[in-house]
């Protein structure tokens, strides 16, 4: 299937981009921005926003839309990682930091304590830093959620990824639609002031009715911010794209989300979970 013109972008370049990339390399850090070849990396970095992948590069889940390395066990956690990220944040002059991770089902707490340490260390770099934690489901363990929330992230996101009918096709068997909704609902129950966020990828064959139902379910779970973007096949080993959704349809979903009462809806073909994250939180505070 040939990509339409609206999905074609120029690769990031320029002295600032190269300098930021060099800083990450010097600290031995990995960002989703470059690792996942995000189409918005240049725009986000220029606004002082970046997404760091923590807890290694090996995921213990086997989702069929994702090209991240899979395995039964991940790498040993690096106790220096929180400080290295915080130092890079200062050197890069970031104002909005997203911390995400692979799933670590091999760890007793799914890596929740390490996640919390990273959040707390980054927030300690200055009052002007906003931290968003894009977390795994931690198998629904509420004590793990408590650890993360205790570190006081400004936003906690957990992606439901796709509509209920396609969960078994796209996601690992240990994940699930109801589990993700439960995680999002519990975050709000534990901290009503914490902004919650979730994301949908489109183009797997879902219908408009199913997308709107998913958005409604997320709203009922107390989600404040949602993002909707086009699924793009990372390699030939992942799920095929069934449809390229036109920009007008994404605009329609944004209008519907706003009518549902979400505080912020970011919807477009090139949108990813953390796209316009800094603007989304500022809008949600209005």
The 10s digit of each residue's pLDDT in 216-263 is 999 999 999 999 999 998 889 999 999 999 999 999 999 999 999 999
Q: Are 197 and 280 in contact (CB under 8 A)?
A: yes
Domain count across the chain: 1
Which residues pair with residue 266 across a beta bridge? 227
**Inside any domain, residue 3:** no
Which residues pair with residue 98 across a beta bridge? 51, 132
Tokens found for residue 6: 């609206």
Q: Return the pLDDT at 84.
A: 92
* Lowest mean pLDDT across 83-97, 159-173, 237-251: 83-97
**Inside any domain, residue 175:** yes
Q: Return the pLDDT at 59.
A: 93
Dump pLDDT digits (tens) for 63-78: 999 888 899 999 999 9
Q: pTM of this prediction?
A: 0.88
Highest mean pLDDT among 40-54, 109-123, 230-244: 109-123
Dump pLDDT digits (tens) for 18-35: 666 666 666 666 555 444
Mean pLDDT of 112-126: 95
**Inside any domain, residue 4:** no
Distances in whole angstroms, Cα of residue 51 to Cα of each of 32, 84, 85, 218, 239: 6, 14, 11, 23, 24
**Inside any domain, residue 154:** yes
| Phi and psi, residue 74, nearest 5° | -95, 180
Long-range contacts of 280-285 (CB under 8 A, 24+ apart): 280/197, 280/225, 280/227, 281/96, 281/130, 281/132, 281/154, 281/155, 281/195, 281/225, 284/195, 284/224, 284/225
CA–CA gap between residue 244 and residue 182 (Å, rounded): 30
The domain containing residue 201 runs over which residues?
10-284
**Inside any domain, residue 101:** yes
Q: Return the pLDDT at 113.
A: 98
Q: Return the pLDDT at 124.
A: 92
pLDDT band at 13 (very low <50, low <70, confident <90, very high): low
Q: Any idea what the CATH number is for the domain that residue 29 is in?
A: 3.20.20.70
In a 10 Å sphere around its CB, with 0-12 CB exposed, 13-18 middle and 19+ buried, how is residue 94 labelled? buried
CA–CA gap between residue 161 and residue 271 (Å, rounded): 13
**Inside any domain, residue 140:** yes
Tokens found for residue 245: 């959704």
**Inside any domain, residue 1:** no
Mean pLDDT of 123-135: 90
**Inside any domain, residue 120:** yes
């Amino acid at each position: 299937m040939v990509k339409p013109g609206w999905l074609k972008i120029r690769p990031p370049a320029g002295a600032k981009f190269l300098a930021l990339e060099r800083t990450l390399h010097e600290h031995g850090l990995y960002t989703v921005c470059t690792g996942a070849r995000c189409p918005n990396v240049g725009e986000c970095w220029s606004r002082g926003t970046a997404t760091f992948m923590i807890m290694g590069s090996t995921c213990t889940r086997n989702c069929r839309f994702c090209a991240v390395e899979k395995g039964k066990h991940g790498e040993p956690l690096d106790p220096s990682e929180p400080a290295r990220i915080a130092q890079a944040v200062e050197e890069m002059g970031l104002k909005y930091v997203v911390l995400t991770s692979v799933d670590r089902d091999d760890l007793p707490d799914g890596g929740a304590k390490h996640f919390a340490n990273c959040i707390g260390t980054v927030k300690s770099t200055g009052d002007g830093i906003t931290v968003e934690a894009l977390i795994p489901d931690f198998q629904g363990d509420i004590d793990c959620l408590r650890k993360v929330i205790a570190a006081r992230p400004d936003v906690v996101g957990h992606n439901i990824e796709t509509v209920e009918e396609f969960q078994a096709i796209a996601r690992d068997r240990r994940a699930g639609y109801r589990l993700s909704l439960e995680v999002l609902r519990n975050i709000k129950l534990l901290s009503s002031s914490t902004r919650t966020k979730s994301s949908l990828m489109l183009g797997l064959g879902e219908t408009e009715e199913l997308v709107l139902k998913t958005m409604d379910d997320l709203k009922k779970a107390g989600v404040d911010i949602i993002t909707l973007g086009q699924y793009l096949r990372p390699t030939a080993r992942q799920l095929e794209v069934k449809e390229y959704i036109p920009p007008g349809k994404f605009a329609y979903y944004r209008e519907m989300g706003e009518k549902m009462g979400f505080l912020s809806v970011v919807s477009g073909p090139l949108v990813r979970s953390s796209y316009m994250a800094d603007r989304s939180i500022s809008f949600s505070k209005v």
